Amino acid sequence: MFRPLATSALALVLGAAPALSEVTPAQVWDDIARYYGDLGYEVTIGQRDEAGDRLALRDIAMTSTSGQTTVTVQIPGITLQKAGDARVRSVIDGQVSARMVADAAEEADDLDLQVLMSVPGNEMLSSGEPADMLHEITIPQVDVEIRPDAADAAGDAPVRLGMRAVDATYQSRTGPGSESLYEITADTLDLAMQFAEIASPSGAGEQAPAAGAGGDAGGADVVPGSFSAGASVDGVIMTGSMVAPRGGAPLNMAERPHEAFRDGLAISGRIAMGPLEGSAEFEAPDSEGAMQSGSARVVAARSEISVGLARSGMTYAGSSAGTRVEMSNSDLPMPLSYAVESASGKLVLPMSASDQPQPFGLDYAITGLTLADGIWQLFDPEGKLPRDPANLTLKLDGQAIVTEDFLDPAFAERMAEAPDPATDTDPTAPAEGDPADATAPETPVPFQPQSLSITTLALDAAGARADVTGKLEFTGEGGQPVGTVEGSFTGINALLDTLVAIGIVPAEQQMAARMMIAMFARPAEGDPDALQTRLEFREDGAIFANGQQVR
């Protein structure tokens, strides 16, 4: 959903390359149309008037269909005219609109979403040459309205987004392949949401006739209540790129994304935000009809998210600093809050089928996690546990065989139709223990790990610390792990004593817990408060803990 709306709406007024050679309005439009054509959009023009140094386009529509979802973007008009300095000035006339229509599954409601974008005072200056073009954009103000029901235009839109002082560049280079680069900056970004009714997951509410600007859930059960949220960001930077192959079949990101990436398509994007403040409030009845209310507030000094998609795999990373969260609920005796000095994460996953192992990895870190006294009071009112800031560091990487293209729509359909062994039963299937049951087909696992390295697993909290490292290879038909995992621990015995003292661990279970610890860990030489463990996973399936077989 994000990709077609984001690239179709705001990126439409983007455009990028050096040089001062003469460029024509028609060449500028061809460059923009090519970009969306590469993404799988069909671009149509209702009226085209070209005279001298001026090109006027009216009733422009861009349509993309992927499975049961269709996105259509409409622009009333674009006027492109030579500016007299080897550049072309382009202006969007009127309000840009986008509509997403999706046929949902039988048990869900169809989606009919409308996005309206106003860009008063917008201007794009294009220079360069057809194969290397630079577009520089200035937009004093961008206002976006999002409505969950495209047919209902009454009242205020339930979701509004605004950006001020937007500057952007878009660079387009073509040749054997094509490359697009963009950068967008905004002084401020503001988001506001307001819903007058809330969808009821339990089905206890009244049936809503249709979705409206008040936030009804179009045919779903709704309950009286309200939800509002808002966020304000001081300083936003968005950058990204797209490298597309040429010479073969045209890209179709909507219908065949896996083929596009297999052919060499690569996309990356990053958004960095300055100080952020956000809040939310809700009021709704509980399962017994009693009204509940609550609120939340979040503050962050900075945050960043980046995404990369290519034939080699997917990369997702994020980080934040100076985060504080406060929450309250009418059912809670006191507000709850916590703070994090810094947090970061990175996930690397292969997404294309191959008979050769491909890398994957996970990095995650939290530094300086502190809980407010209200949370500690819930389980440690006497303050027996150390309340020093907690830290967690995790770094995993390995190799895996991927047997399916994860972005192939056919794969997604097969996964959606696959029976859930926890809930789905087939009355015609052989009974458990029936010899025929052994021949029942199994759903193949598309992600098969070949190796796993635990570079770092370190946890420091409540006066205890754990450090774990290891390396495993997965062999045989069942992916039997073979290798060693080692760990060192401090403060575990003292923590267990405290947990028993405050009642989290029942006293009668203390002996069983200590026996379990003794089975997998042994005291470190010269330090009775430190424990060590060495787990060996052998090829025959046996597991040894500190030299003693446990399986």
Average pLDDT over residues 135-144: 96
Q: How confident is the model at residue 5 (pLDDT cuts 50, 70, 90)?
A: very low
User: Regarding predicted confidence, which is higher, 492 or 109?
Assistant: 492
Average pLDDT over residues 218-237: 80
Question: Tell me, what's the pLDDT at 21?
Answer: 52
User: Regarding predicted confidence, which is higher, 476 or 264?
Assistant: 264
Q: How confident is the model at residue 149 (pLDDT cuts 50, 70, 90)?
A: confident
Question: Tell me, what's the pLDDT at 286?
Answer: 75
SS3 503: coil
- Residues 6+ positions from 508 with CB-CB distance below 8 Å: none
- Residues 6+ positions from 353 with CB-CB distance below 8 Å: 402, 403, 404, 405
Question: Tell me, what's the pLDDT at 261?
Answer: 84
Question: Tell me, what's the pLDDT at 8?
Answer: 42
**How confident is the prediction for the chain on average, in pLDDT?**
84
Residue 91 scores a pLDDT above 90: yes
The answer to whether residues 218 and 149 touch, using CB atoms and an 8 Å cutoff, is yes
Q: Note the residue count of the chain.
A: 551
Question: Tell me, what's the pLDDT at 551?
Answer: 83
Residue 250 scores a pLDDT above 90: no
- Residues 6+ positions from 332 with CB-CB distance below 8 Å: none
Identity of the highest mean pLDDT range in 168-182, 221-235, 448-462, 537-551: 448-462
pLDDT tens-digit readout, 437-465: 444 445 567 889 999 999 999 999 999 99
Question: Tell me, what's the pLDDT at 260?
Answer: 79
Q: How confident is the model at residue 404 (pLDDT cuts 50, 70, 90)?
A: confident
User: Regarding predicted confidence, which is higher, 213 or 387?
Assistant: 387
Tokens of 534: 């060495």
Q: How confident is the model at residue 18 (pLDDT cuts 50, 70, 90)?
A: very low
Residue 159 scores a pLDDT above 90: yes
Question: Tell me, what's the pLDDT at 223?
Answer: 60
What is the residue-wise DSSP string for 440-495? S--PPPSEEEEEEEEEEEEEEETTEEEEEEEEEEEETTTTEEEEEEEEEEESHHHH
Question: Tell me, what's the pLDDT at 255?
Answer: 65
Average pLDDT over residues 424-436: 51
User: Regarding predicted confidence, which is higher, 197 or 379?
Assistant: 379
Question: Tell me, what's the pLDDT at 68?
Answer: 80
Rg (Cα) of the chain, in Å, rounded? 29
- Residues 6+ positions from 181 with CB-CB distance below 8 Å: 16, 169, 170, 171, 239, 240, 241
For residue 11, what is the DSSP state?
G
Question: Tell me, what's the pLDDT at 199?
Answer: 54
Q: How confident is the model at residue 432 (pLDDT cuts 50, 70, 90)?
A: low
Angle at Cα 277 formed by Cα 272 and Cα 282, nearest 5°?
125
pLDDT tens-digit readout, 97-107: 999 998 866 65
The answer to whether residues 144 and 160 touch, using CB atoms and an 8 Å cutoff, is yes
pLDDT tens-digit readout, 48-83: 999 989 999 999 999 988 778 899 999 999 999 999
The answer to whether residues 5 and 66 touch, using CB atoms and an 8 Å cutoff, is no
Residue 283 scores a pLDDT above 80: yes
- Residues 6+ positions from 279 with CB-CB distance below 8 Å: 229, 230, 231, 295, 296, 297, 298
Q: How confident is the model at residue 246 (pLDDT cuts 50, 70, 90)?
A: low
Residue 7 scores a pLDDT above 80: no
**277: Cα separation from own chain's centroid:** 20
Question: Tell me, what's the pLDDT at 422?
Answer: 54
Tokens of 73: 């973007």
CA quadruple 517, 518, 524, 527: dihedral sign: positive
Residue 165 scores a pLDDT above 90: yes
Q: Tokens 């209540």 appear where? A: 225
What residue spans define the domains of the chain? 1-240, 409-418+443-549
Residue 124 scores a pLDDT above 80: yes
Question: Tell me, what's the pLDDT at 222?
Answer: 57
The answer to whether residues 171 and 183 touch, using CB atoms and an 8 Å cutoff, is no
SS3 376: helix
Question: Tell me, what's the pLDDT at 19?
Answer: 36
CA quadruple 506, 510, 515, 516: dihedral sign: positive
Question: Tell me, what's the pLDDT at 30?
Answer: 92
Identity of the highest mean pLDDT range in 388-402, 441-455, 468-482: 388-402
Q: Which of 110-124, 239-253, 452-466, 505-519 has the lowest mean pLDDT?
A: 239-253
pLDDT tens-digit readout, 329-352: 888 888 889 999 999 999 999 988
Identity of the highest mean pLDDT range in 15-24, 516-525, 534-543: 534-543
Residue 204 scores a pLDDT above 50: no
Strand partners, 521: none
Question: Tell me, what's the pLDDT at 347?
Answer: 97
